[in-house]
Structure 1
Amino acid sequence: MVVHVVTGIVDDGHGLVASRVQRHLTPLTRYSGLIMPYLPLYVAFFALLGLSYGFPYSNCTGKEGSPPPSTLGKTVAVTSVPPCAAAPCEVHPSEVLNLTITFVPNEVISNFTAVVHAALGTTKIPFPIPNPDGCDTSVTGVTCPLKANTPVEWKHSLTLPKLIPAGVTVVIIWELQVSAGNDVSCVEFVAKVAP
């Protein structure tokens, strides 16, 4: 038996094996003309996807000035653009940080508000958000009421205020708040203000 790897032809002298191999190779070779020209794009896309999903966050703990843990939901994932793979995330003043928080509410949520602070030691500096309404579909992509036990992908943008000096490291606390002390999601991440 001779196998020709380049052509995918197998010759056992009777032609029986060749037809079996051809049948198994056809599905693979049929799509190679569609995949190969775009292979660099696929590689770049999945590389960027991998970077964005490596966002270093933690859930709020209620310790050392952190808000209490979320009581009305569970955070599943956080992604950002520009991507950040390791803490501290470097952010530039007046740069837009696009954040996506994926969470699962424990109960039906009629409305909620985004509340953002930067913790610098024991001092909390509020970050103004242009539209804190968590249910504004045009801004966040979310329509309320939220269903219980159904994943929600909430999006928002934040521009870092210039009042934090360059080189300073802060903890950014991002709450999706139903009422004071009752969050459907609460995450923290460390950010360093770039010069």
Structure 2
Amino acid sequence: MDKFIAAVILVVCMSVDISSGKTPFHTCKSGSSKVTNVVIPGCNAPPCKLKKGSSAAMSISFTAGEGYTKVTADVHGVISYIPVPFTPPNVDGCQHSGLTCPLTKGKNYVYNNTIPIKSSYPNLQLVVRWELLDENNKDILCIEIPAEISD
């Protein structure tokens, strides 16, 4: 009976993790903050499917590694090792992103942004590299997410 209960608890825990909406990501080698979670709705397995003519919302949870007075988003689509600018409409991370600057070292934050997936983009696989830069243009955080743009 105890093994059965343990098995049920294990299955429930695994189901909660799968359905929690966590998006698979890799952290870059740069960045002084610790990324704890990334969520792109509808993306629970790589590559994230990005539909042309739509918008992709993203939420990044992180712990600030230092204090920052300014936050700027820098986004690229990396195609065959070549970074191509993929600029969100709001690059100011201190405005309309869930962050209030200045950021305090050791405090937890959630950054939110949305990027349009233009109909003019070609169908392709890429890696989306999303960086948040500080007032000195150094990485606060950097994540990479495998993605696929399609009709």
Normalized against structure 2, the TM-score is what? 0.82
- For structure 2, the residue ranges without an aligned partner over 5 or more in a row are 1-14
1:187 maps to which of 139, 143, 146: 143
1:52 maps to which of 7, 21, 28: 21
Whichever structure has more strand as a proportion of its residues is 2
Pair member with larger Rg: 1
Whichever structure has more helix as a proportion of its residues is 1
Q: Is the 8 A contact 2:18 2:44 kept in 1?
A: no
Q: Which residue of 2 aligns with 1:26?
A: none
- For 1:161 and 1:117, the matched residues in 2 are separated by 14
- For structure 1, the residue ranges without an aligned partner over 5 or more in a row are 1-45, 62-68
Q: Secondary structure at the match of 1:52?
A: coil
Q: Secondary structure at the match of 1:140?
A: coil
1:73 maps to which of 25, 33, 39: 33
Q: Which residue of 1 aligns with 2:117?
A: 160
Q: Is the 8 A contact 1:51 1:84 kept in 2?
A: no
Q: CA RMSD in A?
A: 1.9
Runs of 4+ in structure 1 off by over 6 angstroms are 46-49
RCO comparison, higher one (Cα < 8 Å, 6+): 2
* Matched residues, number: 136
String of CA shifts for 1:19-38, please: whole Å, max 9, x gaps: xxxxxxxxxxxxxxxxxxxx
